[in-house]
Chains A and B, each alone.
Chain A
């Protein structure tokens, strides 16, 4: 049983025009097995929340705390956070020229598990995970995210999540840019990991359509750098009908 607790998190970013405050006190707790949907308009700070928890150096935490099972996440380096059990599926996965997917996956898994995976079982493990995400095994020999389509990048993110077995995963608009089939395949991947591992999920999304496949236990409305309303799945239906206007007019 794991627990990610975000308390009164305040984050700013330094721009050419000066310091810009983005997160204005976010409170959120995600436990193993739970799925939290974070829904909000573009520019409200959802990705900033995700990046801040993962430790992106561009974002400065100016107040509040983030803990995973009592350990201070904000004190950890980026890789330590991943080793502690956090995973971020990025909205815009980064291309890494010259580094093959297979080398990347093996290096990451070795770092997270603390030992190199056994050659025999490893190849099978990767193949099976790729097959279930409908990814051609030829992807192993390609460079990380280089020349991948939007959908392929998102599948590759979920592939990593399957292999790295995190405790809590943050999925930042994993649904955006996916056609219906890809959305179903990716969602099934997340559900498979959940049923195998009691994963806690923070599902950041702009639209409700992914919630047909990934049933949230909690829905949070995010606007202007904080959570402005929280409820159960029914809140998503309300958003579907009414949009975010009521939350952004202020």
Chain B
């Protein structure tokens, strides 16, 4: 299908882009930011969205690229998935982002789709929102009125609804480095190679010093278990102090599994072609166990 008509604005700088969005907002126009277009163009073609104009920021020189800034890594919103995967800073310092990005879509989509676009799109089936939530990332957004920061826990408001005000552009994301001792895993379950997650689990696990194998801290967030990504607080609390010894050894109960069985608490899983809520709850429990074992192992 062909999308409904719209005006096209290609600003030369981020400032100009903010101004274009600000002006449109004052005029009461429904303007949308266009980055890689890999989510927006299919929506337009299916006529699920009718913006009056697109502001194309896709070729601006900034904000793109990855920067090591001491206690965190700053990922510019326009950095493509492909660039994220190739970045040694991402692979070494924020590996959970690299692991999840490698599961996003396919190579051609990753050449154009952007890190910021996947987050601003706020699709609970997207792989990066859960990662941002698990890692307590901070979103940096800009408008004509200046810059502000939004914690990940407040960024995902509802289905396809980020906490961006009209006229605001996501500039980039601060991804905290979790430091030594942490292990990471992204476990995604999907039916066909390039498809979205039926359910996904982002896990970061820190074991105690001295190789004791006891969980000191865990961060878990779920993909596609509600209208927004879901932080599995119940699992995180139950994992604290749990022993990583091989399951069933000494006849002791597997406390990791008991903790992960709480993965679906507080979730409101959707129904679609791939399954209903009960199936997704089951998947969430099984996949969380796999993710935690892989992250801590």
The finding on whether chains A and B are genuine partners in a shared complex, rather than unrelated, reads: no
Q: Which A residues fall within an 8 A CB radius of B?
A: none
